[in-house]
Structure 1
Amino acid sequence: MTETVPTRKTTPPKRRYAKLAANENREDYSLRFAAHSFRRWRPAVVATTALGGIAYLADFAIGASIVFSYGFTSGVLAILAAALVIFVTGTPIAAACAKYGVDMDLLTRGAGFGYFGSTLTSLVYASFTVIFFALEGSIMAQAFDLALGVPLPVGYLLSTLIVLPFALYGMGALAKMQTWTQPLWIVGLVLPFVVVAVREPGRLAEFASFGGTEGAGSQFSAIGFGFGMGVALSLIGQIGEQADYLRFMPEKTAENKRSWWAAVLAAGPGWVILGAAKQIGGALLAFLALGAVGEAHALEPIAPYLEAVKPALGPVALTFAALFVVVSQIKINATNAYSGSLSFANFFSRVLHRHPGRVWYVLVNCGIALALMEFGAFALLNKILGFYSNVAIAWIGAVCADLLIVKPLGWSPRYVEFKRAYLHKVNPVGFGSMVFASAVSITAYFGAFGEFLAAFSPLLALVIAVVCVPLLAWLTGGRYYLARPNTVQTGELRATHNCTVCGDAYELPDIADCSRQQGAICSLCCTLDATCHDECQKPGASPTSLPMPTFHPPT
């Protein structure tokens, strides 16, 4: 694969990006279409890197919390039902991000939210990365405390600092780290369950009749099932982190079609299969350790894990358990910090028309997460995740409905348009559906419509979003998807034009025609322009004088 060489600049550029923002080896096309020339990894490498991001142990804590609260039957069924919803909604999103080379934010813009409408979802997604960074960092700090006696506040700081190098250097460093640590992580994940199966197979039957620690009982409870499902559905935003890697998938061809789809399904929605297994497995380990460590510590993954491997590893059990936890948390929190930086960068670039570089937002993401850890976010696990899932699922449901229903029906463009030059500020189809679904489900969550709808409020949000999106698209005739036709059309996706503002060369999917500059403008320079006031979308705007080849979305 050859790199595109920019043409010689004849005049000084009108904008110079900060050094960090101009370095794509660190920037990773954070606010752009991922150029084909940058997508140099094989599908299997992209999938391995993406799956490394699900090494987190919050699954253990979430599963234990659900089963302890609602009992084995209701809890396990809730975990499995949530996994099914996450897989179904995640599949079209993963495929679209891999196909069009866009992250979750850019996809949301073109899937019914509009240019500024998706700033809300940028914050929702950023909140997801911050919340889970704090939860995972808390688990790492618990390991430092148990193994080395490091006080938790100091452990929180160490767990934050240790992931910074990987998140700062982007996809290249992350791919290497995830690949190198994968064998150790797999061995560490499987070991405690092998030990339990060999030494205590009879305890599995006891676990299956476990009624929880709060009097829920071992029988099925619809209310417990609903609340447990709501907690598990908070993980629906994980598809955004998977998409941040999947946008680097190589172009799908006849030769790589099978490996391409295998990688997309495995690294996209496929994460939830292992995720659900980890939640149930985490609940099992917590149940087995309950008598030895007590309920509070049983909900902290390090203590049950240590109790499970002790019989097999003896005096080195604590060292191995701590190493496994630290490696797991580095793998996931590097991803949380990386994905959070993309989301924060997208939000602030549109609001402030400035972009100092993605790496600065790594520090913002980690700083907020550190504050949450110091304030004890781990102790509020169920409440935080149960509330958050109402908003997250409304967003994902709206995007999914656009991709699966509205685009095939022709009520929205069949490709993903993410550039400011062609988008309305707010598209009421996706944005309106998400806001309405979130408002109703949050109201239900706080008990306004009774206990049953309170328990199933996340599913209520999903149903409302999925129904409202095609309804609004039909009522509006799809006219809020594009503010004007995209005249930059090409049959060669790798063809480049120099941006008339920054002077750099970009592939055609990242280029717009600018009436103000009378030439091509890259998507980021278009985003950062605070003076044009969307001149190109106004009636009578003069067309660009730059001849552009024709553009056809990738098939």
Structure 2
Amino acid sequence: MTTQSVPDATATPAAASASSGEQVHGMDAAKETLEDYTLRFAPRSYRRWSTGVVATSALGGIAYLADFAIGANIGIAHGTTNALWGIAIAAVIIFVTGVPLAYYAARYNIDLDLITRGSGFGYYGSVLTNVIFATFTFIFFALEGSIMAQGLELGLGIPLWLGYAVSTIMVIPLVIYGMKALAKLQVWTTPLWLVLFVIPMVYLLISHPDSVETFFAYQGADGDGAPSFASMMLAAGVCLSLMAQIAEQIDYLRFMPPKTDANRRSWWRAVILAGPGWVVFGAIKQVVGLFVAVYIIARLTPDAAATANEPVHQFLTVYEQFLPGWAAMTLAVILVVISQIKINVTNAYSGSLAWTNSFTRVTKTYPGRLVFVLFNLAVALLLMELNMFSVLNTILGFYANCAMAWVVTVAADIVINKGLLKISPTVPEFRRGMLHAINPVGFGSVVVSAGLSILVFFGVFGSGIQPFSPIVAIVLALVLTPLIAIVTKGKYYLRRTDDGIDLPMFDADGNPSGEHLTCHVCGIDYERPDMAKCLTHDAYVCSLDLSTDKVGDHVLPAQTGAGVRPTG
């Protein structure tokens, strides 16, 4: 399958009231057709892909090999039983919290940052979570780039420091054109990746069936990996660092076509499979990574066992069991390169969206997404050169607390505050002027839950509770989110309930309206959900030009009583 071509924006003359400075901002806004509507709602006219293409593109990005390293590391540290339970616990938590987020992204066609703004954080409050997510993208870019560099060193003799640079630079041209290019890359490369991944695993199971028994009996590197809930939670904590992956899945899911009676089944199937369903495939890869590591440790030389947690060595070892050395090396390197390109284009793309969102809101200047592609890659390259792979468990365990606090808070706001208590507005709002600057519901929940769970992680409250920092983050986020909403009576969600436009926001099927309105600042037509009334000029203004309005000339005034128990 191939993606549809992306339509060009049709520029119309700028409104007579727009100043020359406003028109400059409008030219910047026009670049959005190449930048995938970085800071705004993804319009119906742009979303030409089928549900299947969107799902395949989203799942293509999870072909990364970090899961193999994570599974191997936690198994070597805690034994097979504890690792398997940790993987299962993390998978269930990630799946459950990912469902409401994926639904909102696909239904309302906005990314997780825009969802977060209206789900308890406020217009500026979600900058905090953007930084959390952007950190996720460069940490995992560095991790995946390190794995690719290991493959290049093993197969081609390229020094690690140069391999880090190669794995970083080669991503840049693939990320520039956004979703259009990424969808094609993911769809075309997924079949080859599956073949290279599945064949060696099948061979290992068929040719060495006794390795299964060895796998389940493995007690870890120290031989003391007896079943322990504390060890299970330590393992789960590392796996839970991947919770923020749902944000990368959502960067694809926001391009889902409108949900109708005709496509209802395929729509839901794509949302569940490509949204929270990614963790099922991730958990399988973690188990496989541990399985191969145990096989290497039990059967091969100590030298081979020393690199049993490195995915390139894992696949090379299995390939060598049934192929000549040169063929095994070739396939192992190809698999590593394909895997790392597939995930790191997504890491670079999603990270650039997160940084651009934050920078534009704080400075009211839109520099373009490419600037932050380069910035994100530069930080990732620095981490690689500092050899972050050697302290993988510690980095991921620490980061997991931040990721869980954020994702669980947003999920709790959607399910509890929106769905059950009806305190939070049902329809996610993201436009400047419609939201308060900071909402203590989500912002306060994340600061407290992440802060306390990090202190627990570093042993401030004693070693007895230290392994349970993930539970602390989850429980606090679940309790604080509705509690703060009840205490504040929901008055910090919306600054306004009326955006000044008489046209309905949704069509007969409940999908965002495809009605076009012209922004008087940039002179470009955008769809109804992206627009608001500009009372100063008695015209309409798009969400990006609202974001870059440095004097607040286009921002609607606050509406009395707008924030009290708002409804959809």
Q: TM-score, normalising length from structure 1? A: 0.94
Shift of 1:504: 1.1
Shift of 1:347: 0.7
| Counterpart amino acid of residue 384 in structure 2 | M
1:86/1:272 contact within 8 Å kept: yes
- The CA deviation string for residues 285-315 of structure 1, in whole angstroms up to 9 with x for no partner, is 1111223344441111101110011122223
Q: 1:297 maps to what in 2?
A: 307
What runs of 5+ residues in structure 1 fail to find an aligned partner?
A: 541-551
1:310 pairs, out of 314, 320, 330, with 320
Quick check: 1:65 aligned with 2:73? yes
Q: 1:505 maps to what in 2?
A: 525
1:252 pairs, out of 233, 254, 259, with 259
Shift of 1:21: 5.6
Larger CA deviation: 307-316 vs 64-73 = 307-316
Quick check: 1:237 aligned with 2:247? no
Larger CA deviation: 299-308 vs 22-31 = 22-31
| Counterpart amino acid of residue 427 in structure 1 | N
Aligned length: 541
Quick check: 1:386 aligned with 2:400? no
- The CA deviation string for residues 475-534 of structure 1, in whole angstroms up to 9 with x for no partner, is 111110001223335335111221121121111100112233432111111111111188
1:462 pairs, out of 470, 474, 486, with 474
1:512/1:520 contact within 8 Å kept: yes
1:116 pairs, out of 102, 120, 124, with 124
1:288/1:304 contact within 8 Å kept: no
Give the 3 Å change call, closer, same or farther, for CA 457–36 of structure 1 in structure 2.
same
In the TM superposition, 1:24-173 aligns within 5 A as: 24-173=32-181
Q: Distance in 2 between matches of 1:24 and 1:521?
A: 15
| Counterpart amino acid of residue 536 in structure 1 | L
Q: Distance in 1 between matches of 2:141 and 2:115?
A: 23
In the TM superposition, 1:343-492 aligns within 5 A as: 343-408=354-419, 409-487=421-499, 488-491=501-504, 492=507
Q: Distance in 1 between matches of 2:445 and 2:502?
A: 31
SS of aligned partner of 1:512: strand
Quick check: 1:496 aligned with 2:521? no
Q: Distance in 1 between matches of 2:306 and 2:186?
A: 31
| Counterpart amino acid of residue 245 in structure 1 | Y
Q: Distance in 2 between matches of 1:501 and 1:201?
A: 67
Quick check: 1:527 aligned with 2:539? no
Shift of 1:221: 1.1
1:25/1:169 contact within 8 Å kept: no
1:20/1:27 contact within 8 Å kept: no
- The CA deviation string for residues 332-389 of structure 1, in whole angstroms up to 9 with x for no partner, is 0000000001001001001111112112211111111011101111111000000000
1:20/1:359 contact within 8 Å kept: no
Q: TM-score, normalising length from structure 2? A: 0.92
Aligned Cα RMSD in Å? 1.9
2:424/2:490 contact within 8 Å kept: yes
Q: 1:225 maps to what in 2?
A: 232
2:25/2:521 contact within 8 Å kept: no
1:199 pairs, out of 204, 207, 212, with 207
Give the 3 Å change call, closer, same or farther, for CA 3–36 of structure 1 in structure 2.
farther
Give the 3 Å change call, closer, same or farther, for CA 475–288 of structure 1 in structure 2.
same
Q: Distance in 1 between matches of 2:306 and 2:503?
A: 60
Larger CA deviation: 44-53 vs 281-290 = 281-290
Larger CA deviation: 6-15 vs 415-424 = 6-15
| Counterpart amino acid of residue 170 in structure 2 | I
1:183 pairs, out of 182, 186, 191, with 191
Give the 3 Å change call, closer, same or farther, for CA 80–362 of structure 1 in structure 2.
same
2:26/2:521 contact within 8 Å kept: no
| Counterpart amino acid of residue 503 in structure 2 | T
Shift of 1:64: 0.4
Shift of 1:6: 5.2
1:282 pairs, out of 274, 279, 289, with 289
Q: 1:272 maps to what in 2?
A: 279
| Counterpart amino acid of residue 430 in structure 1 | G
2:495/2:558 contact within 8 Å kept: no
1:147/1:319 contact within 8 Å kept: yes
| Counterpart amino acid of residue 304 in structure 1 | Q
Q: Distance in 1 between matches of 2:29 and 2:520?
A: 18
Q: 1:324 maps to what in 2?
A: 335
SS of aligned partner of 1:521: strand
SS of aligned partner of 1:38: coil
1:336 pairs, out of 329, 340, 347, with 347
Q: Distance in 2 between matches of 1:280 and 1:539?
A: 53
Give the 3 Å change call, closer, same or farther, for CA 369–328 of structure 1 in structure 2.
same
Give the 3 Å change call, closer, same or farther, for CA 342–389 of structure 1 in structure 2.
same
2:29/2:544 contact within 8 Å kept: no
1:434/1:465 contact within 8 Å kept: yes
Q: Distance in 1 between matches of 2:125 and 2:15?
A: 38
Give the 3 Å change call, closer, same or farther, for CA 539–301 of structure 1 in structure 2.
closer
Q: Distance in 2 between matches of 1:20 and 1:142?
A: 40
Report the identity percentage: 48
1:89/1:397 contact within 8 Å kept: yes
| Counterpart amino acid of residue 212 in structure 2 | L
SS of aligned partner of 1:506: strand
1:43/1:259 contact within 8 Å kept: yes
1:514 pairs, out of 511, 534, 552, with 534
1:223/1:451 contact within 8 Å kept: no
Larger CA deviation: 436-445 vs 150-159 = 436-445
Shift of 1:279: 0.2
SS of aligned partner of 1:311: coil
